[in-house]
Structure 1
Amino acid sequence: MKSFTRIFISILIISLLSACSTSDDEKKITNDSKEQNPGVQSGQNLPTEKGANQTKPAMTQAEVIEAVKTDLKTDLTKLLPSELPLENGKHLTATTKSDESYYEVVFYESVNPVAINHESLENGQIIARINAQKYESVQEASEQVAFENFSELGGQTIDLGYNITGYQDAGAGSMWTSWNEGRWAIGAHTHTSEGESGEKLAKEATEFLESHTLPIPKPNGFAHIDVYQLDNRITWQKENIVYMIDEVKDPMIALEIATSIE
């Protein structure tokens, strides 16, 4: 009986020791797991990299225009507007072409920021086009501008305000209200059936130019503005180089862009 009791006690001791050892091992495994995943709790996601899904901020107009200047590879003086009119929330971008004696910049507005010269701009909304071309001589450049002194050509006179006299001339279904300011010739076009609209545009342009200055031409410049937003062109020369702004629908915006040229 004593022998059986000793055997039973021995078995009980061995079982207790085994249970303690298993408990210690489980605790060790649990602690090791916590060390490998510090701070992770049940149902909690690991943090993602900061800014991983953020997009780059849109470029300002000044940054876009500076990038355009850098992209143009030409020997010509790069004359571009300091600012262009954009709809609220739209972004400025452009396409460029250039060589040593020519450059062209087409400015676009886009819903989202678009890189300069991106292929998607082929069907974009054009704001304005600006180009420059070098000619063999000053005379050849002057022929492209086709400056006119309207006081010498005559026509029905009209008071445009600010001591400026305009001259109206009609023919082939068109009417022009034209005048000179310094070295610039300016003509507002309409149809003969709507002569008053041409006069109104001419007076509006005259008032605008009282507080805004067109680029200084050498020697001359010519601005064609159109009531029907079909053919707005502003051209001026710097000796044998001719600069032109076109592809602008609104005639007053065309003048606004021209007067911001730097």
Structure 2
Amino acid sequence: MKSFTPIFISILTVSLLSACSTNDDEKKITTDSNEQTSEVQPDQNLPSEKEANQTKPDMTQVEVIEAVKTDLKTDLTKLLPNELPLEKGKYLTAKTKSDESHYEVVFYESADPVAINQESLADDQIIARFYAQKYASLQEASEQVAFQNFSELGGQPIDLGYGITGYQDAGAGSMWTSWNEGRWAIAVHTRTSEGENGEKLAIEATDFLETHTLPIPKPNGFAHIDVHQSDNRITWQKENVVYTIDEVKDPMIALKIATSIE
């Protein structure tokens, strides 16, 4: 029996060393595998680019407008206002739609911060709508604008100041005070019984536009503003693309939004 002891000890030693080596290798493989898995797994806490632009509920006006521009997927030049009028303590947000030849942005104000494109936003929160549409031709786009030279159409002339002559025309219960400034046609609407209010708004608008510039149209633009806040609409074209601002209650705010476009 003594002659077999060294052989038995040698075999036992080799077996123990082999087992230790195998365990070490398995630990190394497991560790390497965990490290590789850790490298390829994304950080679930980091927002996607889309989420970073759209889901922050406490954005400033500038951040909201930039998020809107990012969200619009269109081939058109993205013209939007620099800022919109908000009541004190209110927040700006928006809903968007777009495709390669059209986009639409409805701006809202809310009592609490709301991320853009939330279904909970209601019509009574709308500040303004801005949309753009590409048409097949320059002629078709011009028809949407319906520019007019009011000095050629006639009417009762009135002095709006700054050397600008307006023309008043009444019919079917409505009175219009209209004039041209450069490539723009501007018309103020009121009821025939309140003609003085139409003239007053026309003078206020003329005074405002002496220090604020409407977008440069190619070739023309038309601003329709209403004393009774029922149909304020500002439209202009850039060749065969027509841009429009509407759903603004206050006519002077409509002009302020239009003159902040960039």
Contact 1:109–1:124 (CA<8 Å) still a contact in 2?
no
Q: 2:73 aligns to what?
A: 73
Q: 1:252 aligns to what?
A: 252
Contact 1:232–1:246 (CA<8 Å) still a contact in 2?
yes
Give the SS at the match of 2:159: strand
Distance 1:57 1:225 in 2: 33
Q: 2:120 aligns to what?
A: 120
Which has the larger Rg? Answer: 1
Deviations 1:37-66, CA, capped at 9 Å, x for gaps: xxxxxxxxxxxxxxxxxxx77211000000
Contact 2:96–2:105 (CA<8 Å) still a contact in 1?
yes
Give the SS at the match of 1:188: strand
* Paired residues for 1:208-219 under 5 Å: 208-219=208-219
Amino acid at match of 1:179: W
Amino acid at match of 1:194: E
Instruction: Rate the CA distance shift 1:123–1:220 in 2: closer, same or farther, 3 A.
Output: closer
Structure 1: segments with no counterpart, 5+ residues: 1-55
Amino acid at match of 2:101: S
Amino acid at match of 2:240: N
Q: 2:131 aligns to what?
A: 131
Q: 1:145 aligns to what?
A: 145
Q: Cα distance, 1:124 vs. partner?
A: 5.0
Deviations 1:167-198, CA, capped at 9 Å, x for gaps: 00001000000000000000000000100000
Contact 1:177–1:188 (CA<8 Å) still a contact in 2?
yes
Contact 2:57–2:115 (CA<8 Å) still a contact in 1?
no
Q: Cα distance, 1:122 vs. partner?
A: 3.6
| RMSD (Å), alpha carbons | 0.9
Structure 2: segments with no counterpart, 5+ residues: 1-55
* Paired residues for 1:143-182 under 5 Å: 143-182=143-182
* Paired residues for 1:1-262 under 5 Å: 58-262=58-262
Amino acid at match of 1:190: T
Distance 1:84 1:173 in 2: 33
Give the SS at the match of 1:206: helix
Q: 1:16 aligns to what?
A: none
- Range moving further from structure 2, 121-130 or 204-213: 121-130
Percent identical across equivalent pairs? 85
Distance 2:202 2:60 in 1: 33
Contact 1:110–1:124 (CA<8 Å) still a contact in 2?
no
Amino acid at match of 2:138: V
Distance 2:189 2:74 in 1: 34
Deviations 1:79-101, CA, capped at 9 Å, x for gaps: 00000000000000000000000
Amino acid at match of 1:68: V
Give the SS at the match of 2:196: helix
Distance 2:232 2:97 in 1: 22
Contact 2:108–2:125 (CA<8 Å) still a contact in 1?
yes
Paired residues, what number?
207
TM-score (norm 2): 0.78
Contact 2:132–2:242 (CA<8 Å) still a contact in 1?
yes
TM-score (norm 1): 0.78
Deviations 1:9-47, CA, capped at 9 Å, x for gaps: xxxxxxxxxxxxxxxxxxxxxxxxxxxxxxxxxxxxxxx
Q: 1:47 aligns to what?
A: none
Contact 1:175–1:195 (CA<8 Å) still a contact in 2?
yes
Q: Cα distance, 1:155 vs. partner?
A: 0.5
